[in-house]
Amino acid sequence: MKNADELKKMVAEKYGAIAENETSCCDSGCGCDSEYSFIGDKYDSLEGYAPEADLGLGCGLPTEFAKIEPGQVVVDLGSGAGNDCFVARSLVGSDGKVIGVDFTPAMVENAKKNANKMNYSNVDFVLGDIENLPLPDSTADVVVSNCVMNLVPDKQAAFQETHRILKPGGHFSISDIVIQGDLPDEIKSAAELYAGCVSGAIPREDYLKIIKDAGFTNIEVQKEREIGIPEAILQQVLSPDQVVDFKNREIGIYSITVFGEKEEESCCGPECCD
């Protein structure tokens, strides 16, 4: 398995190429074929959806479950070309604000270009690493993210940063990929699948434990669905015998959308304590 720096470089190169080509992961040759929409959900029925900002890189619809209200500040981690940010903007309204964070410069520029086309003055995009976010404490009412956390080598740091930037009483809704059982090493080490949100995934129970250890409460899996790796992908990285063995093992790959809250600050002043 690659180390953290190598993984970050690989993912940055893959997503940079996608952004510069303004095309989807599948079209850019990052390891998927026409069936590689197996990961994502359809956005086209959501208010605020901008087709030019949808690069087919998500694995859920976190904004649908994020309980976003007018006037709130929403931060999207791994914002890509701005797809989830623009949907969130339709929910926060003109009095709210949306901030997208991405560590690929070309993606940030692409997202800014899309926002300018739509004359959005309350949607900002910043360059930054999710493990060390360039945002002040207590910035967001809501944090969303779509198939990004599993691409982050230090997931504990990423969720601790999510906790830090949330206001007390704030919450997140994050869509991501998790696994049941052990994926074969050949799939884990496939760079194309890592950039495609599969081989960077960790077991579901480990994922939820990281969230709890970061300080979140009221953790809830809001949506879960099993996904399958297309036959063409399996054949790229496994031998025919390994493909048969893989299909016969109790291994599952799931898209989940998870909710968690940051506790309100306790008060012991004269107004709230006896």
Give me the pLDDT at residue 247, please: 82
Residue among 200, 210, 217, 106 nearest 152 (CA): 200
Mean pLDDT in the chain? 84
Task: Give the C-alpha separation, 175 to 65, whole Å.
Answer: 10
Residue 107 per-residue DSSP state? H
The 10s digit of each residue's pLDDT in 124-148 is: 999 999 999 999 999 999 999 999 9
Task: Give the C-alpha separation, 148 to 153, whole Å.
Answer: 11
Question: For residue 12, is it left (φ>0), alpha (ψ between -120 and 50) or beta?
Answer: alpha
Query: Please, are residues 138 and 165 in contact by the beta-carbon 8 Å criterion?
Result: yes
Task: Give the C-alpha separation, 197 to 160, whole Å.
Answer: 21
Give me the pLDDT at residue 35, please: 37
Following CA atoms 100, 261, 174, 198 in sequence, which dihedral angle do they give, to the nearest 10 degrees? 120
Cβ atoms within 10 Å, residue 127: 13
The pTM assigned to this predicted structure is 0.84
Task: Give the C-alpha separation, 43 to 61, whole Å.
Answer: 7
pLDDT surpasses 50 at 31: no
Give me the pLDDT at residue 71, please: 98
What value does the mean pLDDT take over residues 246-266?
88
The 10s digit of each residue's pLDDT in 3-30 is: 777 677 777 777 777 767 754 444 433 4
- Which domains are assigned to the chain? 4-261 (3.40.50.150)
Task: Give the C-alpha separation, 32 to 208, whole Å.
Answer: 28
Residues 203-239 as b or e (16 or more Cβ within 10 Å = b): ebeebbebbeebbbeeeeebbeeebebbeebbebbbe
Query: What percent of the chain has a predicted confidence (pLDDT) above 70?
Result: 83
The 10s digit of each residue's pLDDT in 105-128 is: 999 999 999 999 999 999 999 999
Residue 150 in 3-state DSSP? helix
